Structure 1
Amino acid sequence: MTEPNLLEELSDGVLRLTLNRPERLNAFTPDLHAALRRALSRASEDEAVRAVLLTGAGRGFCAGQDLGQRHPDAEGGAPDLGETIGTLWNPLVRAIRDLPKPVICAVNGVAAGAGANLAIACDIVIAAESARFIQSFAKLGLVPDSGGTWTLTRALGEARAKALALTGAPLPAQQAAEWGLIWKTVPDAALIEEATALATALAKGPTYGFGLTKQAIQAAGAQDLDASLDLERDLQRKAGFSPDYAEGVRAFTEKREPVFTGRAQ
């Protein structure tokens, strides 16, 4: 029996999603896109899911789009890559960014093209020391997509973003961490254990507040200080009326560990 191209496992509030096309370095097909979108929708709606952990099977995280399904010599002529981006990749990146719960990415190997940009769209990225991030679009005459030009420029600045995009040079995980593109690296053998521990800890936390924090930080790059101050005020109002805030204060005054639910009310 053929294994699914996306493995799903829910444990301790963490929905672990594993891209499962290792023979193709977990390159995306429309079926894999649909499966991951469904899983993220489940994560958004299911109260049992408090955090998401995304990783890849085999020796790589993700090679981006499966080019075998987007070949320019295919019958019917060159594919419309704009349609591919608009209907598959962009909605996927938006689903990760809009998910009101933490999304941790454990990059277990090479992350190339849209696969690299999918990883860095997540909230916290932990990479194996052997991992590399490659803007491989340059080798194909294409433009970095899936938020690549946006994320790279904001995280690294124009000079580094252009150099990575135009040369397609591999960015080692350790350098990506030093530059601030990802959070940190760990030894390869410790990656899943450490990423799972982080995801589990976050899943036990005040995840409603985490979602609001995520919203505020993501908005900050596109607005001025006054707008951010106003947004912080509005989101703090929501957080202050949540059960998690009440539980946090009670636990603090009673000198015990809080038991958060992640509920808005």
Structure 2
Amino acid sequence: MNTLLYELNNHVATITLNRPDKRNALNPTMHNEMSELLKSVNVDPEVRVIVIRGAGKSFCAGADIKEFFKDLEDKPQLREQILATAWDWMWKLLADSPKATVAMINGHCFGGGLLVAMACDIAIAGDEAVFGLPEINWGHVPGGAASLKTIEFMGYRKALYYAMTGISLSPKKAEEEGLITRSVAQADLLSEVTTLANLLAEKSPPALKTVKEIYRYASHMTIDQTHDFVNSKVDQLRLKDADGLRNQGMNAFINKQLRTT
């Protein structure tokens, strides 16, 4: 791969956006490579957690404007094809991945880079990171996914404020506004994400997948619909748990409680 690095350790797959000289900006090659890699990783039984990070001093500065708009100016069909690939890997292969996904954010996280972070289940940022929707600063607007997801995470008024002003957010502010999960000291970022990834890797993969599905759809349901939906998912989980991990975990918890009472 020309734009990505891949490593698998202890059921944790680490994907590194590897264009540090371009602040890991998303170009056509990266979109194609990410699509192919995630298709493989999502069906790999050895993978339980996916961590996405950026090489060098940035997570991802967004789209590579030159390669998308200047180099493809006279190739509209190719550009549309690449944009479709980008949409597919972010919102189907990553956002709907059966694995737990974690964004490890350092440095710049703008535009398309922010989309990658929002597509992950959990986003942890070092305190030197910078977030924003800068499109308005050059007479453009955030894309549809960015508009929808920032409203979903931050609420309408706050999302609109940052989209209209183009003002950047510090990690602490991004955490307060609901854009990321946590901000930590830059020096602790790697150890914090590693600890989290290892913790997630210890969980039952079918249970993690089910939790993701429940939380993805529950917000659009009534309380009665959510009750029925969760019960159906629990029934499915019981059928998929051929090794009895669910009962083993429950029995271990009950026995621990009995020993402490």
Residue by residue over 1:45-68, the C-alpha shift from the partner in whole angstroms, topping out at 9 and shown as x without a partner, is: 111001011110111100111111
- Measured at CA, do residues 18 and 74 of structure 1 come closer, stay the same or move farther in structure 2, by a change above 3 Å? closer
Amino acid at match of 1:23: D
Which is worse superposed, 147-156 or 6-15? 147-156
Amino acid at match of 1:159: R
Residue in 2 that maps onto 1:20: 18
- Measured at CA, do residues 190 and 142 of structure 1 come closer, stay the same or move farther in structure 2, by a change above 3 Å? same
Residue in 2 that maps onto 1:7: 5
Residue by residue over 1:115-145, the C-alpha shift from the partner in whole angstroms, topping out at 9 and shown as x without a partner, is: 1121111101000011111112222333323
Contact (CA 8 Å) 1:56, 1:108: kept in 2 or not? yes
Alignment partner of 1:68 out of 63, 66, 69:
66
Which is worse superposed, 217-226 or 207-216? 217-226
Identity %: 30
**TM superposition shift of 1:253:** 4.5
Residue in 2 that maps onto 1:262: none
**Inter-partner Cα distance in structure 1 for 2:77 and 2:131:** 26
- Measured at CA, do residues 121 and 171 of structure 1 come closer, stay the same or move farther in structure 2, by a change above 3 Å? same
SS, match of residue 61 in structure 1: coil
The structure in which a higher percent of residues are helix is: 2
- Measured at CA, do residues 92 and 141 of structure 1 come closer, stay the same or move farther in structure 2, by a change above 3 Å? same
**TM superposition shift of 1:213:** 0.7
Residue in 2 that maps onto 1:107: 105
**Inter-partner Cα distance in structure 1 for 2:62 and 2:229:** 35
Contiguous gaps of at least 5 residues in structure 2: none
Residue in 1 that maps onto 2:207: 209
**Inter-partner Cα distance in structure 1 for 2:41 and 2:82:** 24
Equivalent residues in 2 for 1:151-190 (5 A)?
Answer: 151-190=149-188
**TM superposition shift of 1:234:** 1.1
Residue in 2 that maps onto 1:194: 192
Residue by residue over 1:42-94, the C-alpha shift from the partner in whole angstroms, topping out at 9 and shown as x without a partner, is: 22111100101111011110011111112358662778866543332344222
- Is residue 249 of structure 1 aligned with residue 223 of structure 2? no
- Measured at CA, do residues 162 and 69 of structure 1 come closer, stay the same or move farther in structure 2, by a change above 3 Å? same
Amino acid at match of 2:200: L
SS, match of residue 35 in structure 2: helix
- Measured at CA, do residues 138 and 82 of structure 1 come closer, stay the same or move farther in structure 2, by a change above 3 Å? farther
**What is the number of equivalent residue pairs in this alignment?**
254
Which is worse superposed, 222-231 or 199-208? 222-231
Contact (CA 8 Å) 1:50, 1:101: kept in 2 or not? yes
**Inter-partner Cα distance in structure 1 for 2:124 and 2:77:** 34
**TM superposition shift of 1:220:** 2.3
Contact (CA 8 Å) 2:151, 2:159: kept in 1 or not? yes
Contact (CA 8 Å) 2:28, 2:67: kept in 1 or not? no
- Measured at CA, do residues 245 and 141 of structure 1 come closer, stay the same or move farther in structure 2, by a change above 3 Å? same
Alignment partner of 1:32 out of 13, 30, 33:
30
**Inter-partner Cα distance in structure 2 for 1:195 and 1:75:** 39
Residue in 1 that maps onto 2:45: 47
**Inter-partner Cα distance in structure 1 for 2:221 and 2:56:** 40
TM-score normalised by the chain length of structure 1: 0.88
Residue by residue over 1:18-56, the C-alpha shift from the partner in whole angstroms, topping out at 9 and shown as x without a partner, is: 100000000111211122222222221111001011110
Amino acid at match of 2:47: V
Which is worse superposed, 235-244 or 18-27? 235-244
SS, match of residue 235 in structure 1: helix
Q: CA RMSD in A?
A: 2.2
Contact (CA 8 Å) 2:35, 2:88: kept in 1 or not? no
TM-score normalised by the chain length of structure 2: 0.89
